[in-house]
Amino acid sequence: MLPGQVVWITGASSGIGEELAVGFAAAGAKLVLSARRPEELARVAARCAGAEVLVLPLDLAKSDAFEGLVPRVLAHFGRIDLVVHNGGISQRSLVKDTEMAVHRRIMEVNYFGTVALTRAVLPSMLAAKQGQFVVISSVAGKVGTPLRSAYCASKHALHGFFDSLRAEVAKEGISVTMICPGYIATEVSKNALTADGSPTNRTGEDIANGFSAEATARQIIAAVSAKKSEVYVGRFVGKERLALGMKRFLPGVLERLVQNQAPK
């Protein structure tokens, strides 16, 4: 990553996105910070001391507004070099209990919102013949696990979309980096939706004991600079990293292990 690049981060008001903002600022980037809560974005902007920051609130579930946001970024900074699709919500509910509206909500925020912002930014990157999309997927984007059907589906869908986009635009100077974090200590499980769409309001044990968001951001920025196509980030040794290896080489064993995690 070169100093002076314009980096647009969604979900910048908390967790991984917040630490990415601080990390990219330290690397000399100019930042566009987006999420729904302007006051939290202002707090994060204040942590990015020395960087030029544009706070641009958006709701990933209201993608009709995105076409209008891109000209505002271009008017302010002149270009968009990198978009970090980080904003998202998780889930903690069984398929048999989960309302259809919850499935739709998670797909709207995690998948359709991300697709819509990509569509809005892509023309400016094609015209500039350069750019990079960074997508914060998850180990759940590779492995389906209990209580996270919609979340896993939304993250798996991102891999399909962005693998296709990568193939379409590689020759135009545009790259795609898929990031698959393991358990990271953030608000993700507190904000995760239950069967009726209300948040859990509690931090699960795996997340409470997760890898730090700050160290995760450092690993992500290294992968982005190296223009990796897909990378795991998080604890070097952990069950989620093991799961990725097993999915590839021992899928049957992984299937049985994941089944044993299912609530009885």
> Which residues, 6+ apart, have CB-to-CB distance to 31 below 8 Å?
6, 7, 8, 9, 12, 21, 24, 25, 45, 48, 51, 52, 53, 54
Amino acid identity for residue 52 in this structure:
E
DSSP letter, residue 11? S
Q: In the complex, what is the shortest distance from the CB of residue 212 to ligand NAP, in angstroms, rounded to a whole number?
A: 11
Q: In the complex, what is the shortest distance from the CB of residue 110 to ligand NAP, in angstroms, rounded to a whole number?
A: 7
Spatial strand order in the sheet of 6-10? 53-55, 30-34, 6-10, 82-85, 131-136, 174-181, 230-233
Report if residue 17 touches ligand NAP, rule: CB under 6 A: yes
Q: In the complex, what is the shortest distance from the CB of residue 128 to ligand NAP, in angstroms, rounded to a whole number?
A: 25
Tokens of 122: 């892509």
User: Taking CB under 6 A as the criterion, which residues in 24-43 touch ligand NAP?
Assistant: 35-37, 40
Report if residue 138 touches ligand NAP, rule: CB under 6 A: yes
Which is closer to ligand NAP, CB of 77 or CB of 232? 232
Q: Of all residues in this chain, which one has the CB nearest to ligand NAP in the complex? A: 15
Place of tokens 């979340």: 151
User: Taking CB under 6 A as the criterion, which residues in 84-123 touch ligand NAP?
Assistant: 86-90, 109
Question: Of the listed pieces 24-32, 63-71, 72-80, 182-190, which binds ligand NAP according to CB under 6 A?
Answer: 182-190
Quick check: is 111 catalytic? no
Report if residue 214 touches ligand NAP, rule: CB under 6 A: no
Q: In the complex, what is the shortest distance from the CB of residue 167 to ligand NAP, in angstroms, rounded to a whole number?
A: 23
Q: In the complex, what is the shortest distance from the CB of residue 184 to ligand NAP, in angstroms, rounded to a whole number?
A: 4
For the chain, how big is the Rg over CA atoms in Å? 18
Task: Name the active-site residue from 111, 151, 183, 232.
Answer: 151
Report if residue 136 touches ligand NAP, rule: CB under 6 A: yes
Residue pair 22/217 in contact by the 8 Å Cβ criterion: yes
DSSP H or E run through 2: none
Tokens of 83: 């978009």
Tokens of 172: 């135009």
Please tell me the total number of residues recorded for the chain in this structure. Answer: 264
Which is closer to ligand NAP, CB of 2 or CB of 143? 143
Summarize as ranges the residues that interact with ligand NAP (CB under 6 A).
10-11, 13-17, 35-37, 40, 58-61, 86-90, 109, 136, 138, 181, 183-184, 186-188, 191, 207, 210
Q: Which residues are catalytic?
A: 151
